[in-house]
Every structure is written in C-alpha cells, then in structure tokens.
Structure 1
Amino acid sequence: MKKILFALALTVCAIATSQAQTKIGHVKSQTLLDTMPSRKAAIKEIKEIEAAGLKELRDMDSAVQVAYKTYLDKRSGYSPTVDQYEQQRIQRMQQALEDRQQQIDQQLQVMTQEMNAVILDRVKKAVNIVATAKKFNYIIDESTTLYSAGGVDVTNEVIVELLKLEAEVKKTR
C-alpha cells in the first residue's frame, strides 16, 4: 500500500513539474496586423485595383445600356436579320461584361491570398523569434481562444520583431 501511495505521489509531482515548465504566451493578432506597414500598403493597393475594376465594369455596363437604348430606338426600322444581329451583339456585350466581372473578382482573390500569405508568414516569423527568445512552448491568438486564465501577453514584443522584419524587407527592395 505504501508503494502505491509513493508511486501516486511521484506521478503527481512529475505531472506538476512538467506542467510548470510549459510556458504559454498570447498575442492580439489584429493589433499585429494593424501595425504592419506592408499590410496597410497591400490593402491600399487592392482597393485601388478594385476601384479600377469597378470603373471598367461601369464603363462596359454604360456601353451595353447605350447599345440597348439605340437598339430600342431603331428597332422598328430593322429587318429581321439586322434585328437578330443587333440582339446577338448586345447579348455578346452583356456576356463580355459578366466574364470580365468574374475575371476581376478572381484576380482580386488571388492577389489578396498572395499578399495575405506573405504577411502571415512574416507574423509567424516574428512570433517564432519571440517564442524562441523567451522560451515559450505555445503562443496563441487571443481572438480564437475560448478561455484563458493565464499566459503572458507578448503582443508588444512581437510588434517590435515585426517592425524589424518589415524594415529588413524595405531595405532589400
């Protein structure tokens, strides 16, 4: 019986020791992202491209509307062959507008994904630098944590590393 109690006490001490060695930190990911100049530049660039795409689509839509109005105004004087030709022409214009809208949407999605991948890679690198330097086992994002009763907020330390990484990237360009 004494051996069982001793083994149990030894197990409890081993578990407590192993848990005491686990260091957990946390960051506010939105704060990290908001402080990155490269992310701000990427958002601005995407918005500019999106605005240019919207202008292009509005111009194409205006051309379709003008062609349709012209068609309606002159329709009574068209022969059946010309009427069919004009209808098909307007349908092709409308289809080109829809196709271009899909192309622009796809291009924006690809650009956003590519830019986000670079930004998130930089955030991970900065978190890794801080985790290694401070010997953390885990660093979690506060926004995705359901419950936390501890840990160390390392957001500011990660921001410092992020800004260093951003400066390095800026120098190489």
Structure 2
Amino acid sequence: GFFVGDNVPKVDFVAHRLRYELIISYRMLDQMIKQKVKGENYKDFLDEKVLAVQNAYEHKNFDDFFTTSEALLKTILDIGNHDYLVNEALECSHTVMTAILEKYHTDEPKDFILDMYPFVMYLGDLVRLIAENRFNDARVLFEIIINYLKMQLPKETQEAFENIDTYRLA
C-alpha cells in the first residue's frame, strides 16, 4: 500500500539525510551504552583522528578535511558495532557535506574551511565525552553538530529539515 516517490526534491532529500544521520548517531550511542563500551579504550585512537581533522583545518586542506572528518565519524560510529548503520551514516554525511559545499563557488573553498571552525571544535568535545563514557551527553553534541551543519545549508533545506516527518522515508 505504500509508494515511493520518483522525484524526491533535492532539498527534502538532503534534509532527510541530515535527520537520518542524527537518528543513526543516537542509535549508535544507544548501542555503546547497551554493549557497556569503555570509551577510555578508544581515547588515543579517537584523539588521533581528531588531530588529523584539526591539522587539515589548520592547513586549509579541503580534501583532507573531508577525508579526515569522514574517518572520524566512521571511527566513532564503529564503536557501536553495526556496519549497516555506519555505512548509512557515512552516505548521509557525504550527501550533506556535498550540499553544504555547493554554496561555495570557488575552486579552492577556503571560506568553507573557515566556516567549519565550530564543527571542528564540537568534534573534539564529542570525542572527549565518548572517552569519558558520557554517551548520553554525547547525544547532545551530535545534535549540536547536526544543527550546525543544518545552518550551513540553504534556507529551504533548513526549513525542510524542521518540517520533515521523521518517519517518512524520502
């Protein structure tokens, strides 16, 4: 009795992917709690990944920034031990970051990197909370990160994100 729309508007698709990434992040934190993960066991590895993102940011290396940010997200979510959801989150992240990048119209998007300073700062805080086994607090950081990314998207996508039915699949 359900039909999938043939032409989902891009604005709705990006908004849906951003919302889905947040939902997956929450689910993976729940997995970490359920599995009684010891965040301190991942501290050094996560710190190394954050440092790579920070270095890419400081050197304004756009390609490395994307690569290291994605690697950090994968590392964090891998702790929850659910390959399918990790891959889904990475696809969502790629869609969202690509949509954000579209507002920068230069070959060398240094403005993009500069605008990502809060994102880099929040990632460091997120890693610290996970290393301290504060998974419920990490949920708040994921929401802050997603909201920051949302604010980087066009106004129509932001509105679609706010109005999207979480249970509707786009």
Do both share a fold (TM > 0.5)? no
Higher relative contact order, structure no. (Cα contacts within 8 Å, ≥ 6 residues apart): 1
Flag the structure with higher helix content. Answer: 1
Q: Normalising by structure 2, what TM-score?
A: 0.29
Tell which structure's C-alpha radius of gyration is larger: 1
